[in-house]
Copies of this chain bind each other. A is one copy, B any other.
Amino acid sequence: MIPRYSRDRMAAIWAPENRFRIWFQIEAHACDALAAIGVIPAEAAKTVWEKGDLPYTPERVARIDAIEAEVKHDVIAFLTELSEHVGEPARFIHQGMTSSDVLDTCLAVQLTQAADLLLEDIDALLAALRTRAFEHKMTVCMGRSHGIHAEPVTMGLKFAGFHAEFQRARTRLVAARGEIATCAISGAVGTFANIDPRVEEHVAAKLGLLPEPLSTQVIPRDRHAQFFAVLGVIASSVERAALEIRHLQRTEVREVEEFFSKGQKGSSAMPHKRNPVLTENLTGLARMVRAYALPAMENVALWHERDISHSSVERMIGPDATVTLDFALARLTGVFTNLVIYPEAIDRTLNQMGGLVFSQRVLLALTQAGVSREEAYRIVQRNAMEVWNGQGGLLDRLKADAAVTDKLTPEALEELFDLGYHTKHVDTIFRRVFGDN
């Protein structure tokens, strides 16, 4: 997580202000529950909210940091500072709880907040993709396998494909959010020896979490591993979309371009030098988000009821993975929204091979017209090789080949070169992806 690749809202989730605010809420809600079951005075719980529910200003954060520098314990520092506001009833805060109860539940809240922003990001991306997909639903372009021209597709299908992919990403992220949205307030080894499970239930409900069915001292880390693995998969989808743009923008293709503002430096003396820097950047960011999945998986196997090896990892990948993916999704949305599409270039590519991409269909038509497979192959091959050697287009050549015209009329031949043949099921596919609208 570096400022260059951060957006404010996501970064704010990981700021101390937000963390302390969540800690306070956990403690205050716990007080309510403790009061409700008679463990602490109701008045104390009330006072905690009344006197303690204040914004965490930079001054308060600095005060907590100063205390922590002394006592070397973050939760104790937090509680000490809080007691300076709450006064005497502060001694009822945190009763029967362990630091991990606060830390792990807070991480759950932060990750769900992060997931919510990422879901917003994906929704924005889906909207952008949908717009471009319908806009170019029937913009026929060359389809390529192995980087080699194959048969026509449409630009809309490309966007629709990414839309389908990010719909899946969305579904995965919703599930992953559910994985990490649990609350643990179960004490030093998860037995509730010193705190009633009803406290956990109350706090969970208030924070929009579910109680963790069985925590040890910590919420089990397979949940987090799954969460970060899903971010890695989503980042890989970002990379796929970015790669498509990079390929379509390379000089020899130039069917699309990332938006390049008039004022952008150096554009006009070398007008061809418009680099797909945004999508190149996304390719790199995807590598990072993917890499973070691994330490998250290594974090699962903690010793016994917990060790703390996962902590340093999460302090780093918690912000790093979510901030980077948030930035990447937003950047990708911008790229698609502003993408400049060049229909003439798309057409030029379609015609580049002199109609050779239709040779397969001609072959089939000849066979259906009664020519043997071998003979049909010879006929097509003969003409294809001439086209390949730069001797005209395939359609013209076939029209001039008696072995062809014996079997197929010029109209029939032209029909074989009709792009409509390739787009006749685009509606079907769009219905599958976007529903009936």
Contacts and interface: CB of A to CB of B under 8 A. Distances in A.
Interface of A: 2, 4-5, 71-73, 76, 143-153, 157, 160-161, 164-165, 168-169, 172, 175, 179, 187-194, 197, 211, 213-214, 216-217, 220-223, 225-226, 229-230, 232-233, 236-237, 239-240, 242-244, 246-247, 249-253, 264-265, 268-277, 280-281, 283-288, 290-295, 297-313, 315-317, 320, 324, 349, 352-353, 356-357, 359-361, 363-364, 377, 380-381, 384-385, 387-388, 421-426, 428-429, 432-433
Query: What is the total number of copies of this protein in its complex?
Result: 4
Instruction: Tell me whether chain A's interface is mostly helix, strand or loop, or mixed.
Output: helix
16 contacts: A76-B265, A143-B191, A145-B306, A145-B307, A146-B276, A147-B275, A150-B217, A161-B214, A214-B429, A240-B302, A243-B303, A269-B359, A275-B308, A284-B295, A284-B299, A287-B298
A375 B153 CA distance: 46
A169 B250 CA distance: 30
A423 B146 CA distance: 32
Given A225-B233, A301-B236, A377 B269 contact: yes
Given A213-B433, A281-B311, A353-B251, A271 B385 contact: yes
A421 B143 CA distance: 39
Nearest to A426: B191
B288 A316 contact: yes
Nearest to A187: B151
Contacts of A144: 189, 250-251, 303-305
Nearest to A275: B146
A145 B189 contact: yes
A222 B237 contact: yes
B294 A236 contact: no
